[in-house]
Homo-oligomer: A and B are copies of this chain.
Amino acid sequence: MAWSNGRAPATPPTLADVAELAGVSRQTVSNAVNNPDLLRPDTLARVQDAIDQLGYLPNRAARNLRTRLSHLIGLRLAPVQEGTANALMDRFVHSLVETSSAAGYHVLLFPGDPTDPVSGYEDLLRSTAVDAFVATDTYLGNPQAAWLEARRAPFVAFGRPWDGVHAAHPWVDVDNAAGTALATTHLLDQGHERIAWIGWRKDSIIGEDRRSGWSSTLRERGLSTTGLASRVEDTVASGREAASVLLDEAHPSAFVCASDTLAMGVLHTLADRGLAAGRDVAVVGFDDSQVAQVVPPGLTSVRQPLEEVAVEIVRALEGLLSHPPAESRGVLLTPELVVRGSSRC
């Protein structure tokens, strides 16, 4: 490039600069960039040459203004939860950035007020700062999805529209029940029969979904679940306490947990009692967090296919933003079980 001496020009080259250098009109340069097939090969080559020479790249603001498109996807980032094993969002953000970038979109992060799930969306929408949103945390009772639909905002949800009988928006989700069923089956295969459940409170739809994978699997094998389940908050302390109570009252030989955070609580209780995870009592978590990967002796965990989730979300997004918008149904993906030391003898 002309300025490959390492210093960029004070003001970037414009379409007009390229047009002049190539000896064509501005429109032809625009076509060379956006509809190359419209140009005669030799003209295209000449224009392309000028583009390379000047290091030209279309000005985003100008293009956005004209096309009414920003090629930006908004993602609301909820505040970090310290003291939990929840690294889900981190992995998801990475996947989404990779995938959407390949599709020509960048990810715009905006902060979410934990007390108001809808904050932030409004301004970005009205100022036409993003083309669409990816909405996470679409648990039951979260007004996000309904609000976005009412606002006619293009968005794809990571999470099923639990309440929406006829939700019109595309969504991608992971089959939680299938995940815990996988975990429970694995434990049954290892010879366990008294398999306990530590999950979240009843008002969590996702929690109930995960629980059902455990209970239905046990029931299919003719095993009872009575007294083997506990519902607590998603903290290490709660998991620890629940495990202690269950161990005393129901004598399970294995635990399936709704999250890695709760599973870590179980590991705490086992450590307290001098029991070895895996050898004495088996433990399975959910989310395959970094914690699960590095804690001794390794925590078996259900892993959500976040890379696939991102791919499907971007696919839905592209459909949503194409003309005419493609009708996109929901996509349900299946998680896998990552077996580690905590569930092996």
Contact residues of A with B, CB < 8 Å?
6-8, 12, 55-62, 64-65, 68, 70, 72, 77, 79-80, 82-87, 89-91, 93-94, 97-98, 101, 106-111, 123, 125-129, 150-153, 236, 261, 264, 267-268, 271-272, 289-291, 293-297
Contact in complex: A94, B77 (CB < 8 Å): yes
Which residues of chain B have C-beta atoms less than 8 A from A12's C-beta? 126, 128
Contact in complex: A264, B296 (CB < 8 Å): yes
A164 to B229 CA separation, bound complex (whole angstroms): 59
Contact in complex: A62, B59 (CB < 8 Å): no
A309 nearest CB across to chain B (Å): 14
What 5 pairs between A and B have smallest CB-CB spacing?
Answer: A61-B64, A61-B65, A57-B126, A90-B90, A6-B150
Q: How many copies does the complex hold?
A: 2
A138 nearest CB across to chain B (Å): 18
Q: Which of B59, B267, B295 sits near A65, CB closer than 8 Å?
A: B59
Contact in complex: B97, A111 (CB < 8 Å): yes
Contact in complex: B97, A127 (CB < 8 Å): no
A140 nearest CB across to chain B (Å): 20
Q: Given the known A-B contacts A87-B87, A151-B6, A291-B295, are A108 and B107 also in contact in the complex, defined by CB atoms under 8 Å?
A: yes
Which residues of chain B have C-beta atoms less than 8 A from A271's C-beta? 296-297
A61 to B72 CA separation, bound complex (whole angstroms): 12
A295 to B268 CA separation, bound complex (whole angstroms): 8
Closest Cβ neighbor of A151 among chain B residues: B8
A123 to B101 CA separation, bound complex (whole angstroms): 12
A90 to B209 CA separation, bound complex (whole angstroms): 28
Q: Which of B58, B106, B268 sits near A109, CB closer than 8 Å?
A: B106
Contact in complex: A129, B60 (CB < 8 Å): yes
Contact in complex: A107, B109 (CB < 8 Å): yes
